[in-house]
Structure 1
Amino acid sequence: MDKAEMACQLAAQTIQNASPLRPQTAVVLGSGLGGFASAVQGGVQLPYADIPHFPRATAPSHAGELLIGTLADHPVYVFSGRFHYYEGLSFRRAAFFVRVLKQLGVRNLLLTNAAGLINLDFTPGDLMLVQDHINFSGQSTCRGRNEEMFGERFFDMSDAYSSELRALAHACAEDTGVLLREGVYAFMPGPQYETPAEIRALGLLGADAVGMSTVPEVIEAVHCGLRTLCISCLTNYGAGLSPNPLRSDEVNDIASTRAGDLSALLLALIGRL
């Protein structure tokens, strides 16, 4: 057993020891969306600091703990706070928890994030189902020696954001009356916001929204064979699309105002998995 496998097994065993529940679905909460964690019933709170080999979540508004409980009568793992490349982590370290989820037998990974909008047909506050992503960072969670226990050396990203789960999300949005856009998410490394020129370039390349997270987890989830879905809360216009400067407090404030609709959508989705 190599070091990577041992690290994942130790983290997975710690999580299993914390609760008798064995969820097949995990949810990751992005900036300003941590309030959803309060909906978890009968939950065990496990700080990331208590899970071996887990990084620390240092981003503002990210609680940095794993909740294990039930939502819509289904057992779930809820990650209140995520890990980012801009925190000084490699893509692989930022997505380490996904390999742990594979060890735990998780099948579905539901991601949320806060993102800036590029597509002017959208409005701040809209929820956008991610259809695909653009990653020009040159980074991958799978760079280096491949570990076959997690997945194949080369793998297809054509359906990285599961078309099956996206169809289910649209059905849940219709049932709950939540407006759900769909579009392409562009990854930028941060922590600085993008320049107006970068936003214009990303728009020309087909991006509808931009953010600093999600892509590492999705790459690793596909490598590990997990079905993945992502919903972005579009919190602000990208740089140059508004006369106002970009502010992190605005991002969190707008995300918080849409937490109710996002929660309703996620609960409906979890209930149908």
Structure 2
Amino acid sequence: MLSNTPFEAADIIRARKPGFTPRVALILGSGLGVLAEQMTDAVSISFTELPGFPISTVHGHAGELVLGTLAGVPVACMKGRGHFYEGYGPGVMISAVRTLKLLGCEMLFVTNAAGSLRTEVDAGSLVAISDHINGLPGSPMAGPNDERFGPRFFSMSNAYDAELRELVKATAKEKGIKLHEGVYFCCAGPNFETAAEIRAFKTLGADIVGMSTVPEVVAARHCGLKVAGVSVITNLGEGMSPFQLSHEQTLKYAAIGARDLVALIPAFLERLAGMPRSA
């Protein structure tokens, strides 16, 4: 039996903010929730009130949906996300992403904290995600397909939309923000990677590594949402520096990188506001 949970969550959200149709869905990763504080006319709803939304167990993930306007664009912002390592499985974000689609979003902008596999891209840097490698055990879309949202088989050829990425890059250049570009490797976690794994991921063509994002991006592409993504680099991968990795380090450097991201995303949205909505 197919789940109506996304429809139930969408109804609750519409009742809390009547007449609101978000154009952009924004997912904020570890330590990046400060961006939601810039939103105007905002209404916050705890994930605990929304069927199908993941209840985060991770420090730094607030676990609430904020609806409002950012840089003139109506936005639905998830402060926090679910992760495979919390025991939810790879389909952890499907229902939430589908709810965002039902609300009227045309694109998903994902952010995360990630480790760098390139020595020149150090802690505090920003990286526009160009593609990903799924290191989770299986696809989020395994199991019965819900044709109401998308087809059984679907392409991931433009998973991170090239036009949106160019817009992000142009915005960064205009604002004087240094923005790298690279492929994101998703690990299951919660342990950080070994030095040998980091060497293997580099060989496979990855530039950055983390424990999130892929579940929601696959779900977004299945239901037709375009995706843009930016990672905040919090550390070099294991074996690439003398420092021991920790979640505290992740939050510390996420806050440093967030300064640029907090300038970049509203400026990107300002550009987007001048463009027509997708059909």
* Matching residue of 1:199: 198
- Paired with 1:93 and 1:241, the residues of 2 have a C-alpha distance of 31
Q: CA deviation at 1:56?
A: 0.5
TM-score normalised by L of structure 2: 0.95
Q: CA deviation at 1:137?
A: 2.2
- 1:1-273 mapped onto 2 (5 Å cutoff): 2-4=1-3, 6-20=4-18, 21-273=20-272
Q: CA deviation at 1:93?
A: 2.6
Instruction: Give the percent of matched residue pairs that are identical in Structure 1 and Structure 2.
Output: 45
Unaligned runs of 5+ in 2: 273-279
SS of residue matched to 2:12: helix
- Paired with 2:58 and 2:94, the residues of 1 have a C-alpha distance of 15
Q: Deviations over 1:223-244 (max 9, x none)?
A: 0100101100011011111111
- Paired with 2:164 and 2:56, the residues of 1 have a C-alpha distance of 28
- Paired with 2:135 and 2:43, the residues of 1 have a C-alpha distance of 38
C-alpha RMSD of matched pairs (Å): 1.1
Closer, same or farther: CA 153–189 of 1 in aligned 2, 3 Å: same
Q: Deviations over 1:118-160 (max 9, x none)?
A: 0123121110000011113232121012111111111111100
Q: CA deviation at 1:55?
A: 2.2
SS of residue matched to 1:96: helix
SS of residue matched to 1:150: coil
- Paired with 1:136 and 1:259, the residues of 2 have a C-alpha distance of 26
In structure 2, what residue type is equivalent to 1:18? R
SS of residue matched to 1:111: strand
- The answer to whether the Cα contact below 8 Å between 1:83 and 1:95 also exists between their aligned partners in 2 is no
SS of residue matched to 2:269: helix
Q: Which moved more, 1:89-98 or 1:180-189?
A: 89-98
Unaligned runs of 5+ in 1: none
